[in-house]
Structure 1
């Protein structure tokens, strides 16, 4: 006997329209979508039904595992706490970002990342997790230990994505040097002289390590079919380098010029959902809304606030005239799935996985009522 149920009286966010109707779920997949009312089924009371969201780059897990300096939480508990918040935010597929390469600000190292990778893998195997979790390796190519750390993590079977980043001073994240100085001096609580020495050390590391590490990691990822992402591209030259390295996703470009060049090169442009909600970048770079208005935005990531993903989709459709709600929803579901080759999910369509979210919007803020992954209720 097949397991099936009907969700009726919903506003269903499809690929190109919002349909008032019902969805039939059978054995974990969407079996039918029909317009109008039906007698049978669970009443959605006119709430929205969205695809399960797909998160490609979140740093959220690390804060659960290392919530204070020198504190390490039980990794299984940390992963489960992170997973619960992810699922409650409507995210049914998540790529958890793990550090690869230790910069001077980080207290956690590669052994901590292996502990978390093991906890995620075990959680998936034992069916303890609500969302489906993959691994995203955040490769700090300027770090001396980057390649060694990458070699210890690349073999995990849940690794599907890697990003190449260089956070050394004078590199990509901060286009304004003064903004960089203010941000890091406050973050690290150091004097002007200590900050000057830090910058000199990090710039020297970048000059020694970045080019070789970029080349080695991009080659390894192409061989293993791991999706490659660039990070904080600022110039046309940066984008050209990304194309040569086989990059498929341009994460957080810092300028409109870089975003436009990425689009022209066929890369998927990813920006932060908190950037959308806040109205700008905390680093003083180009805003995600500006990229959306210029047709240069493909994917949104919750980055450090899981709930911002659903919030940004509804918010963006309200504030940008050229973006409808179905278009905004593609930024957090279908486009993300396509960028990483997950063609079984990302939209409400017959034959796709029944990853679904019931959402009610109250005073312009979405309220997530229920979440299903492959037809099983997880929230």
Structure 2
């Protein structure tokens, strides 16, 4: 079905303009089809659908409580519904493939991978996978390579959390947290963490194989939690052109000087700072050092963060919205979305400026979600 969205204020070519927006054959069109359904967007902002480069809130559907696992298909169906209600029309699920048993294990990855084709077929949101490969997870290397080769992986992230975990093994509270997530006894978890650390000399060769596979498949690479300039240079040498959650301002500045996108979490902006005490994302974005905001662990934070940036008084809405739409699309090599221009995907979120909440979401040109009461805006 084709659509004509009338009466709204459209984000087009970097400016907010009062205009209609036509959606034909799943894409933004120059002019509406004569048979198009009409959606009365009066008083609403007509904005590109959100592109989430890293969101792992789906883990709460997979494991709502420690040790309580739900079927991957059910979890993905629930996640897809939540994503749409948040205006996210392209979602890179942050799937951590770790040496830890349980939620982030090889078995969990295999179950999720098996459930993804049906979930993607049923979902209006374009569900993709940002595979966050833990450096020490050498036993799962072939699984990761298979996922890249068969098209299950759309973005590869280099993670290296094991050293930080090992440093916390003396803290019973921290060990209990990790062991609970893995479904293990504390002592068994300590032994496992120490055993995987003993194989770190094998990591460089594994990273090279992963990077080569990603380059061959044409998928982008990113590095996560770069702490130093040496870290950024190290991962850049593997082809990681996205710097995600840098731990120091100088790292973000170095990435931007190299023309690379820098990602930080939208919850950081919404909360006014990092929950880990790291850099505040909002002022870095205003200075151009952060170019992408991701949902991280809270899907609604993306849309909220864009408006929070506007309320700070430095960015206008088009520039703030680029942080959650055009820029992440560009970072991931998705030239067909993130903006509202003829020929691009018809991914649109209509927002009430008074409540700054979604009213309707169109995905690939089709009406995918309506807020309560918004059905009254539909016209023949």
Q: Under TM normalisation by the shorter chain, which class is it? A: 0.7 to 0.9
User: Given that residues 101 and 139 in structure 1 are in contact (C-alpha distance below 8 angstroms), is that contact kept between their aligned partners in structure 2?
Assistant: yes
The number of residue pairs the alignment matches comes to: 359
Deviation at 1:170, TM superposition (A): 5.0
- The question of 1:256 aligning with 2:249 is answered yes
Shift in CA distance, 196/324, structure 1 to aligned 2, threshold 3 Å:
same
Deviation at 1:71, TM superposition (A): 2.5
Shift in CA distance, 203/30, structure 1 to aligned 2, threshold 3 Å:
same
What's 1:119 paired with? 115
Give the Cα–Cα distance (whole angstroms) in 2 for the partners of residues 341 and 332 of structure 1.
14
Deviation at 1:314, TM superposition (A): 1.1
Q: Which structure 1 residue ranges, 5 or more long, are not aligned?
A: 35-39, 172-176
Residues 1-379 of structure 1 mapped to structure 2, 5 A cutoff:
3-32=1-30, 41-103=38-100, 107-124=103-120, 127-169=121-163, 184=174, 187-188=177-178, 201=194, 204-205=197-198, 207-321=200-314, 323-362=315-354, 366-379=356-369
| Alignment RMSD (CA, Å) | 2.9
Give the Cα–Cα distance (whole angstroms) in 2 for the partners of residues 288 and 33 of structure 1.
39
Give the Cα–Cα distance (whole angstroms) in 1 for the partners of residues 93 and 193 of structure 2.
31
User: Given that residues 103 and 140 in structure 1 are in contact (C-alpha distance below 8 angstroms), is that contact kept between their aligned partners in structure 2?
Assistant: no
Shift in CA distance, 198/277, structure 1 to aligned 2, threshold 3 Å:
farther
TM-score of the pair, normalised by structure 1: 0.86
User: Given that residues 15 and 330 in structure 1 are in contact (C-alpha distance below 8 angstroms), is that contact kept between their aligned partners in structure 2?
Assistant: no
Deviation at 1:5, TM superposition (A): 2.5
Deviation at 1:194, TM superposition (A): 7.2
User: Given that residues 351 and 357 in structure 2 are in contact (C-alpha distance below 8 angstroms), is that contact kept between their aligned partners in structure 1?
Assistant: yes
Q: Give SS of 2:30's match.
A: strand
Give the Cα–Cα distance (whole angstroms) in 2 for the partners of residues 30 and 270 of structure 1.
28
Q: Which structure 2 residue ranges, 5 or more long, are not aligned?
A: 181-185, 370-380
User: Given that residues 97 and 104 in structure 2 are in contact (C-alpha distance below 8 angstroms), is that contact kept between their aligned partners in structure 1?
Assistant: no
Give the Cα–Cα distance (whole angstroms) in 1 for the partners of residues 15 and 195 of structure 2.
49
Shift in CA distance, 41/204, structure 1 to aligned 2, threshold 3 Å:
closer
Deviation at 1:181, TM superposition (A): 6.8
User: Given that residues 57 and 303 in structure 1 are in contact (C-alpha distance below 8 angstroms), is that contact kept between their aligned partners in structure 2?
Assistant: yes
